[in-house]
Structures are given as C-alpha cells and as structure tokens.
A and B are shown apart, each in its own frame.
Chain A
C-alpha cells in the first residue's frame, strides 16, 4: 500500500476579517499587479515601465481637457452601472444595457433633430430626458415581461434585444443621414447647438455631473432604505422566500427592470445630448457590458461604483496615450488593465480564505 502525499495547500474559510486587513490585502494586490505589469512591459516592449505608467497618468489626467474627458466618460459608465444595479441585485442577468442605452440615445437624437431648434430649453431638456428614459424603459420591460410570465431566459433575451436596438439605430442613421452618403448622422445641430446640454456653473459637463450624481445617491437610498429595495433584495436572494412573504414576484421583476431600463436610457440621453451630440451603433460602445463589471466589483454599492468606473476609464484613457506615445498597440493598456483587474478580483479570495502551506514537520514525517 503506497502512501499518498497530503495536499500542499490547505484552504480554510475565514470567520471574519478586520476591515484594515482587507484593505491591506487589496493594497498589496494593486502593488503586486503593478510590479507584474512592469515585468510584462519590459519583457514585451523593453520600455521603462515607469515611463509607461507616467504615460498612462498623463493620458488620463495630464491636462485639464483630458481630465474632463476622463470625468465625462466616468460619469457615463457610472450612470450605466447605477442603472443595471437594481436588476443584478434582483439576480436578473440584464446584459441588455447596451440596447437600452442605444434606444435612449436614439430617442434623444430624434428629439434633437425634430425639436432641438424649436422648443425652449426649459421644456426641451426635461422632455428629452423623460422621453429617453421612457423609451428605454419600454425596451427593458419586454424581456422582463417574458421572464415574469413565461420564465424565459433573460440573459439571451436581453442580449438579442441589443442587436435589435442596433438595427433601430441603423435605421435612424439612414433616415437622418447628414451629409447624404456619409452613412452617419454627423454632429446634430452643430450650428445652433439645439438640444446640446448647456454649461452649468461654468462647467462644460456640469449637467452630466449633477444628473449622474443625483441618480447615484437616489439609487443608493432606493436600494438600501425603501420597501421596494427590500423586495428586490428578497427576490434576488430567493424566489421562494419572496412568495412566502407575499411579495408579488412578477410585479417586482417588471418594476425593477423598468427602473433599470429608465436609468440606462438616461445614460443614452447624457451620451447624445451631453457629450457626443450624434448617434451611431457604437454610441454605447460596450459600456453596457463594462458596467456589469463595475456593478459587481462594487458589490452593488453605488458609491463604490464612482471609484471603480473612474479607474476603468482612467486606464482606458491612458491606453490611448501610451499607444501614440510609445507606438504601442492600443491593446497594450488592455493587457495592463487585465492584469490589475485579475489581481484586484483575485485578492478577494485571500480576504475570504486563509491559505496554509503544508508545514515542514508534516512533510518530513512522510518519508
């Protein structure tokens, strides 16, 4: 009878961990990730990693304009993350934010084109905001309805709705093509700036800031302190418990997705009216998916999402910079972001578990 060796690593779940220890582990993870990234950079490009890091920093916040671009994109990503959070908290796998943003965006674009130069701003902007929210809300309720009444798979359903939304946008582009033959809408009302969100407190993206931060705070309160937020949490944890408690699960699914869709629609409005002033199939640009990472990494805490979305946009902006500065492929920054995310997500394991390596004494006694 041959004797096997005992396992080298033994993992045990921690009972609890002090917050400072958890943060220390996260800090070590970030530091380690930067060291590994440096190694990768040297190995692949032979560049000085410190220079590359400087390039990233410079690209993201090096000048005032760049900093504002970073803030602008952070706000959009944050808005989407805040939007999908109630759905994910309900364990409704809404990967249709992409489509909901597009529908909200295309509604805003249509209003800019048809009403932008006629209605006074006091009426126009609330109308655009409400219209975009409403359109995306309807878009989001469709898969929720099928889920609630026939238990269809929401992941596939919302994903497919994204492609339908893209076709709707394509149709709009053909319809509003400007100039003819360009296959794009171009900048809408570039001369009159009709339907462009104006400056607030002298800040170009002031309205974006106010709207998104207001939504962030409101969503935090809604999820944590309202009765409806409580219902969402119960439905998310256990459908059986929800039925037991007399919660109307169908109603909660429909209502929550309506809210989720509406906020994503507002994100579409902010992109079109507050930033790009045009509409294309890439208006959402994959941010509906990135927002899922933001939401989960923040553990559904909308304030944590501010940090996480800033980090992701920061890295993305830095990528553009190092791509041109060092003649690197844009994907180089993706590699760096990937490594950093890997470490940040991976360190959660060490926060939840303690790992013990087989002691020398036991190893010795085996011989």
Chain B
C-alpha cells in the first residue's frame, strides 16, 4: 500500500465469456503524474479503465484509491472517489450550452445562479488555459471544443484523477498540442492523469511513465525518458517490428478518375462537399487528410454512387481506353457498365459487410447477380472466402461464422480481400487501419501497395498523418467540405498539412 499512489490496481481480472480481457493486471498511477496506457486494440486498455470508472465490475482483484481499498459499482461511485473518465464518444446534450452541460445532474438550489456557474467555469478555464465560452451551445462546437467541455465538466465536479480514452483520435495536430498543454497545466496543479492511446509520439511527448498492455496481460511500466518508439513497439507487440512503410515510385501513372467541381448537399440541405476537383492516377496512392467530418466520406460515397451529387462531374478513364461518365450514377449502374471500382467504406460492418452473415454470404454481396437465374450461387463465393482465409491469414473458425464474430483486423481483411478480388481499376479506401493492431495495419498497407504496383488508382482516406505521409504519393487535404490543398507526400511537412486541415474558406489547391 502506497500513499503516493492515486490509483493502485492489484491482480485485476475481467473475462467476457471465454475471452480474458484483463488477466491479473497490476498498475499504479502516482499522484500528480501523467501515465500513458499503451496497447494495441483489443489489449484491454479500455476495459481496464471502465472498471475504474464503474462501467464494468472486475471478476477478481482489488482497486485502491489513495491507498484505500474501494468497491466501484457504478459511475457514481467512481465520481464520488474523484475519478472522471472522458470517453471517445462524448456524453453531452447538443441543444444545451456548455455551462448547462457542465452542471447537468449536479445537486443545487431551486434557483439557478447562472452567473456564479459561469464565473466558476471561467475561473477554471483561466487557470488551466482552456478556451471555452460557457454560453455556447454544444451543436455549434467543433469536436475539440466539445472535448474541452467534457474536461471542464470533470474539473468543475472536483475530479482529481482524470482518464482520457484516445483523446487525440479526432483532433488536428495543432488541437492535440493545445490539449497536451492543458493536461500539463493540470498536472502542475496536482491532478493525476491517465491517457489511453496507441500513438507512440504522443506517449513520448506527454507522459511521465508508460504502462504497456498486450492481449490482456500487463507487460510493464517504464519511465518515458528511457523509452523509444522501437522499444515501446516491441513491448506492445511482443516482437521487433519494422515501422517502415514502403513507397515505390509510381510506374507510368495515367489518369483514371477526374472529378470536377463535385458538390453534395445532404438531405437536411447542408452542403457537405463543395466544389471538389482532383484526379486520381493509376499506380499511385492518393491520400486524403482532414479532421473527421470534413467531407471525406461524402467525397468517396459520391464517387461510388452512394450519395447523389448536386453539381460537378466524375469521369472514369478505363485502362482499355475511352472515357465513361459516372456523374449521378448509382452503385448498381456503375457496376452494370463494367467499371471496376472497389470501395472499402469507413463503416465496415454497417456498409461494407453484413455482420450477421457469414463470410460466404458476404463475398456474395458484390457477385450474387452472376450465374444461373433465380438461384444464388454460393459455390464460387465460398471458394473465394476459403482462398482469402488462406492468402490473408484470416483467423476464423470457418467460412460459415458470422463476420461480426471476427476481430477488427480480420473483418477488415475480409472486406479488403473481397474488394481486391474484383481486380479494381480504382480502389477507394476509407480509414483502412482504424482499430487494427500494428501487424494487421502493415498487412493492409502492404495490400494497398500491391494494388498500386498492379496499376490500380488507390484513393485512401486516413487519420494518422504520419502514416499518410509515409504511404501516399500525393495528399489531398480537406477542410469544411472543401479541398484546401493537394501536397506531395514525399516533401510535405506535418505543419503544412495541419494548417491546410484548419484552413477556412480556403481556395482550391
């Protein structure tokens, strides 16, 4: 028992069915430090934190807060102990203001003294260096501002142990830097902070110590100053991993896709994509960078024929020569005229695949129209499924297991594998490695590079700038539904791209 520890976990075990999410994890958070919890997806980071914040209850083990053993049965118990967790998905009421969200659920007098509340919020924001207007409504806020509200909400309630679950996943590099500055201020003021992440550079720049989990096991905690990207990766993955992504030079690039002035208007009448123009060339990977929700999804879905475009044109130049106009065609029409267009959407189980169906039936999604009339052919899709399992080393008990039972990496292999099997001339991919472990991620990068070498025009929306800058030949940057610039992937800097990501009212690049 150590009085200097804000949190101490002893032999915490949590099982879900046969799966052991946390196996006898021991961990401590010192008072006034920033501790990173590092681990791949599925290593049990979030499960562990959810037990501290009262969402799950551990099967075995003890939790000590400030040296005292406690039982945390609900988020309220956790709050009472001064622990606050910021989840990846914010829990805010859109139509209320920041101040209203902050005091929501707190006991108080019958008459609400808004001025006192605002004063207290302003005092907090001034102290730690937040930028927040208490009277702004949530729905008018950017993602980064919403995150600020969540953090201030915790501080307002007197939380002194703060847990953040992948806080930078939705931020631009500049916003992430600002968040880190605030967190350092909070640390100086004596707060203890845990940040869950799988981004190595964040770990190295922010935290005092790093705890590493791997497949539910606690691997160890080291001082950040003794760590390097390579040593952390080795702890995380369990073996040495080369962190280099190859980038062959494009061979004989030819125009495959020419998008001119593409504009999309949503059902609610909001312009989600405005005046987008670019070309995608064969044998090249075109990256698309931008804060989530800057129009990347609409751009890809408009090309794939899933959302109607209001203005502009999409031209396709097949490898055989000629030109085909794809403007305002549906996905079915595009497939019918023989355009080999593959699309790996962001929402894998909600759009690219049917989670409840098995691999064979999911292979059929693209090909079920072929073959004899009326009856569906399941032989060829089953063969394809078996081939993919062997070639991509998909871990599954068999072709008849529902794909939602597979792990994230395997689900993505199923989806990417099927799309590659179409022998695409143009391949659109959205967030291909989101939620994947390092090994699976590199498999996917490799598959994209293979396509590039075979002369496919690959368009890849990504969130990790470091990866895009290593993988892509050109990077198109989006901001607020517009293309704010197209830069060379080999020469561009992170700052340059970051600025383009935040450009407002930008001109075409």
Task: Tell me whether B92 is interfacial, beta carbon within 8 Å.
Answer: no
Query: Given contacts A7-B57, A14-B17, A244-B306, is CB(A225)–CB(B355) below 8 Å?
Result: no
Contact check: which of A225, A228, A243 meets B306 at CB < 8 Å?
A243
Contact with A along B147-174 (1 / 0, CB 8 A): 0000000000000000000000000000
**Which single residue of chain B is at the shortest CB-CB distance from A362?**
B60
Task: Tell me whether A199 is interfacial, beta carbon within 8 Å.
Answer: no
**Which single residue of chain A is at the shortest CB-CB distance from B19?**
A15
Q: Are A227 and B368 in contact (CB under 8 A)?
A: yes
B384 CB → nearest A CB, Å: 15
Q: How far is the CA of A243 from the CA of B304 in the complex (A)?
A: 10
**Which single residue of chain A is at the shortest CB-CB distance from B332?**
A246
Q: Are A240 and B351 in contact (CB under 8 A)?
A: yes
**Residues of chain B whose beta carbon lies under 8 Å from any beta carbon of chain A:** 15-18, 57, 59, 68-71, 73, 77, 81, 304, 306, 330-336, 343, 345, 347, 350-357, 361, 364-366, 368-369, 374-376
Contacts between the two chains (Cβ within 8 Å), count: 90
Residues from chain B with Cβ under 8 Å of A7 in the complex:
57, 73
Q: How far is the CA of A245 from the CA of B364 in the complex (A)?
A: 9
B91 CB → nearest A CB, Å: 23
Contact check: which of A1, A10, A12, A354 meets B70 at CB < 8 Å?
A1
Residues from chain A with Cβ under 8 Å of B357 in the complex:
233-234, 237
Q: How far is the CA of A365 from the CA of B70 in the complex (A)?
A: 13
Q: Are A6 and B73 in contact (CB under 8 A)?
A: yes
Q: How far is the CA of A231 from the CA of B332 in the complex (A)?
A: 13
Q: Are A241 and B365 in contact (CB under 8 A)?
A: yes
A345 CB → nearest B CB, Å: 20
Task: Tell me whether A64 is interfacial, beta carbon within 8 Å.
Answer: no
Q: Are A4 and B352 in contact (CB under 8 A)?
A: no
A231 CB → nearest B CB, Å: 8
Interface residues in A6-32 by Cβ distance below 8 A to B read 6-7, 10, 12-15
Q: How far is the CA of A314 from the CA of B109 in the complex (A)?
A: 62
Residues from chain B with Cβ under 8 Å of A241 in the complex:
350-354, 365
Q: How far is the CA of A238 from the CA of B16 in the complex (A)?
A: 27
Residues from chain B with Cβ under 8 Å of A13 in the complex:
16-17
**Which single residue of chain B is at the shortest CB-CB distance from A248?**
B332
Task: Tell me whether A3 is interfacial, beta carbon within 8 Å.
Answer: yes
Q: Are B57 and A226 in contact (CB under 8 A)?
A: no
Query: Given contacts A240-B347, A248-B332, is CB(A234)–CB(B16) below 8 Å?
Result: no
Q: Are A4 and B364 in contact (CB under 8 A)?
A: no
Contact check: which of B68, B69, B355, B368 meets A230 at CB < 8 Å?
B368
Q: How far is the CA of A245 from the CA of B333 in the complex (A)?
A: 11
Interface range for A: 20 to 34
Smallest CB-CB A-B distances: 7 pairs: A246-B332, A246-B331, A245-B365, A240-B351, A227-B376, A237-B354, A4-B73
**Which single residue of chain A is at the shortest CB-CB distance from B343?**
A244
Q: Are B18 and A15 in contact (CB under 8 A)?
A: yes
Contact check: which of B15, B18, B71, B376 meets A3 at CB < 8 Å?
B71
Q: How far is the CA of A175 from the CA of B368 in the complex (A)?
A: 51
Residues from chain B with Cβ under 8 Å of A227 in the complex:
368-369, 374-376
Task: Tell me whether A61 is interfacial, beta carbon within 8 Å.
Answer: no
Query: Given contacts A12-B15, A234-B365, is CB(A244)–CB(B352) below 8 Å?
Result: yes
Q: Are B17 and A226 in contact (CB under 8 A)?
A: no
A selection of 15 A-B contacts at a CB cut-off of 8 Å is A1-B81, A4-B71, A15-B18, A230-B376, A233-B354, A234-B357, A237-B354, A237-B357, A238-B350, A240-B351, A241-B350, A244-B352, A245-B331, A245-B368, A248-B332
A294 CB → nearest B CB, Å: 22
Q: Told that A3-B70, A15-B18, A241-B350 touch, could you supply 5 new A-B pairs with CB distance under 8 A?
A: A226-B375, A227-B368, A230-B361, A237-B355, A244-B352
Q: How far is the CA of A10 from the CA of B15 in the complex (A)?
A: 11
**Which single residue of chain A is at the shortest CB-CB distance from B306?**
A243
Query: Given contacts A6-B73, A230-B361, is CB(A225)–CB(B376) below 8 Å?
Result: yes
Task: Tell me whether A247 is interfacial, beta carbon within 8 Å.
Answer: yes
Q: How far is the CA of A3 from the CA of B64 in the complex (A)?
A: 12
Q: Are A226 and B374 in contact (CB under 8 A)?
A: yes
Q: Are A230 and B364 in contact (CB under 8 A)?
A: yes
Q: How far is the CA of A5 from the CA of B369 in the complex (A)?
A: 58
Query: Given contacts A4-B71, A12-B17, A225-B375, is CB(A244)–CB(B351) below 8 Å?
Result: yes
A5 CB → nearest B CB, Å: 8
Residues from chain B with Cβ under 8 Å of A240 in the complex:
347, 350-351
Interface residues in A236-256 by Cβ distance below 8 A to B read 237-238, 240-241, 243-248
**Which single residue of chain B is at the shortest CB-CB distance from A247?**
B332
Residues from chain A with Cβ under 8 Å of B374 in the complex:
226-228
B130 CB → nearest A CB, Å: 31
**Which single residue of chain A is at the shortest CB-CB distance from B373?**
A227
Residues from chain A with Cβ under 8 Å of B369 in the complex:
227
Residues from chain A with Cβ under 8 Å of B333 in the complex:
246
B65 CB → nearest A CB, Å: 9
Q: Are B16 and A226 in contact (CB under 8 A)?
A: no
A199 CB → nearest B CB, Å: 34
Q: How far is the CA of A229 from the CA of B375 in the complex (A)?
A: 9
Residues from chain B with Cβ under 8 Å of A247 in the complex:
332
Q: How far is the CA of A246 from the CA of B341 in the complex (A)?
A: 12
Residues from chain B with Cβ under 8 Å of A233 in the complex:
354, 357, 361
Residues from chain A with Cβ under 8 Å of B347 in the complex:
240
Query: Given contacts A230-B361, A243-B306, is CB(A237)–CB(B356) below 8 Å?
Result: yes
Residues from chain A with Cβ under 8 Å of B71 in the complex:
3-6
Interface residues in A208-242 by Cβ distance below 8 A to B read 225-231, 233-234, 237-238, 240-241
Residues from chain A with Cβ under 8 Å of B68 in the complex:
1
Residues from chain A with Cβ under 8 Å of B356 in the complex:
237
Q: Chain A CB within 10 Å — which of B77, B343, B351, B355 has the most?
A: B351
**Which single residue of chain B is at the shortest CB-CB distance from A243?**
B306
B366 CB → nearest A CB, Å: 7
Q: Are A246 and B17 in contact (CB under 8 A)?
A: no
B352 CB → nearest A CB, Å: 7
Q: How far is the CA of A234 from the CA of B356 in the complex (A)?
A: 10
Query: Given contacts A13-B17, A246-B335, is CB(A226)–CB(B70) below 8 Å?
Result: no
Q: How far is the CA of A278 from the CA of B406 in the complex (A)?
A: 55
Q: How far is the CA of A192 from the CA of B252 in the complex (A)?
A: 85
Q: How far is the CA of A231 from the CA of B304 in the complex (A)?
A: 20
Residues from chain A with Cβ under 8 Å of B18 in the complex:
15
**Which single residue of chain B is at the shortest CB-CB distance from A244?**
B351
Query: Given contacts A225-B376, A234-B365, is CB(A244)–CB(B345) below 8 Å?
Result: yes
Q: How far is the CA of A229 from the CA of B366 in the complex (A)?
A: 15
Residues from chain A with Cβ under 8 Å of B59 in the complex:
10
B59 CB → nearest A CB, Å: 8
Q: How far is the CA of A240 from the CA of B345 in the complex (A)?
A: 11
B304 CB → nearest A CB, Å: 8
Q: How far is the CA of A244 from the CA of B57 in the complex (A)?
A: 40
A11 CB → nearest B CB, Å: 10
Q: Are A243 and B77 in contact (CB under 8 A)?
A: no
Q: Are A243 and B57 in contact (CB under 8 A)?
A: no
Residues from chain B with Cβ under 8 Å of A5 in the complex:
71, 73
Residues from chain A with Cβ under 8 Å of B70 in the complex:
1, 3
Residues from chain A with Cβ under 8 Å of B345 in the complex:
244
Q: Chain A CB within 10 Å — which of B304, B306, B366, B375 has the most?
A: B375
Q: How far is the CA of A243 from the CA of B71 in the complex (A)?
A: 48
Residues from chain B with Cβ under 8 Å of A244 in the complex:
304, 306, 331, 343, 345, 351-352, 365
Q: How far is the CA of A228 from the CA of B336 in the complex (A)?
A: 18
Q: How far is the CA of A13 from the CA of B15 in the complex (A)?
A: 10
